Chain A
Amino acid sequence: MTERRHGDRNFRSAEGFNPRISEQAGTFLKTTMIHQPHDSSESRPRATAEDPFPEGDALWDTLGRAVPQELDGWFAARTLARARRSVEAKPGWVYLLRRAFATLALGGIAILLALVWIGREAPQPASVSVAEASGQGSQSAPEVVAMENSQPAATPFDEAFEFLAASNSSTTEDVWAVY
């Protein structure tokens, strides 16, 4: 008696409709009371609080125009291979331990290189004591001369040591005063 139209999502079945009414009355109901949409907007479902994103409304159809993204046929094989590798891979802590050792080793090498470089750049006379330089006690003048000979050129410090050695003065203050 009533045919359901394709796409008529708001169609309401004739609940309460008495199928035993006369054919004439049925025809009347069909043409006047049963919802028969005339345009697409009328036939679309509308968003409600219960169904804020209904299937088949205008927004639904428009969003459906987005091009579907698909993968190639080898995706599953690639994923399976990756899954296998992930299971066979070493546990994370082994990796972290190896990384820690590598970092420590590299850090140690860097510190050693830095120390060697600093050692090469440091001034040589700083380690010579005043007592040794002045020749007091067990030290003698020839040692000072030997030290002088080891230097490529005489510096004010050397001259101060030489002067103080000659004058038998031994204190640090004396050395600095002459320098």
Chain B
Amino acid sequence: MTAVAGGDEPAFATLVRRHQHAVYGTIVKMLGDPIEAEDLAQVAFVRVYRAAAGYRATAQFRTWLFTIVRNLVFNEHRRRGRAVLETLEGNTHDDSRPPREIPDAAAKSPAGALVEREMVEAVEKSILHLPEQQRMAVVLRRYDEFSYEEIAEVMGTTVPSVKSLLFRARETLKEALRKYLGE
């Protein structure tokens, strides 16, 4: 970041390459829209570029970056009025289908691939169905592997609050993905 603050463009490009997949993946899981997510990911990095001069290393860079991501995502979410969630209504809680076992990741048969795809879709939809605060906490915890303390910092809240969010999210996800959990 010091190099970026000094106008070092290759350093900025390296910084982007290092974090782009995490940032993009988080935004996709939050919004469910890959095209919009790419744009927002760019906006996040542009903000980093513009704020580099004033950046003070009081927190981890990754935490700071994801705080920007969180603000962007929540603003975008409010702007869209949860339109994405409404389009996804219906399939996640469909109990008419028989329970399925978790397929082997190495399954090569068409049936296995179909089951795998169904499960992946169910996972993504169940995450998108979570309230935005719970979703953010789950995505940061599971896909970015943040600690509870880091999540609390990114979300501007306390560790007990993060744990409460995750606990509630967990209950919802367990219910939604019951047929895939094998418990």
Contact = CB atoms under 8 A, between A and B. Distances in A.
B82 interface: no
Interface in A66-83: 66-71, 75-80, 82-83
Given A65-B116, A65-B120, A53 B25 contact: no
Most B CB within 10 A of own CB, among A64, A65, A78, A79: A79
A86 interface: yes
B102 A62 contact: yes
A178 interface: no
Contacts of A59: 170, 173-174, 177, 181
B170 A82 contact: no
A87 interface: yes
Most B CB within 10 A of own CB, among A67, A68, A69: A69
Nearest to B27: A69
Interface in A84-117: 84, 86-87
Given A59-B173, A87-B50, A70 B21 contact: yes
Contact of A71 (B12, B38, B177): B38
B19 to A, nearest CB: 10
B180 A82 contact: no
Contact of B49 (A55, A63, A75, A87): A87
Nearest to A50: B163
Interface in B144-171: 145, 163-164, 166-167, 169-170
Contact of A68 (B21, B166, B174): B21
B142 A53 contact: yes
Contacts of A71: 20-21, 24, 38, 41
Interface of A: 41, 47, 49-50, 52-53, 55, 58-60, 62-71, 75-80, 82-84, 86-87
Interface of B: 9, 12-13, 16-17, 20-21, 24-25, 28-29, 34, 37-38, 41-42, 45-46, 49-50, 102, 105, 116, 119-120, 123-124, 127, 138, 141-143, 145, 163-164, 166-167, 169-170, 173-174, 177, 180-183
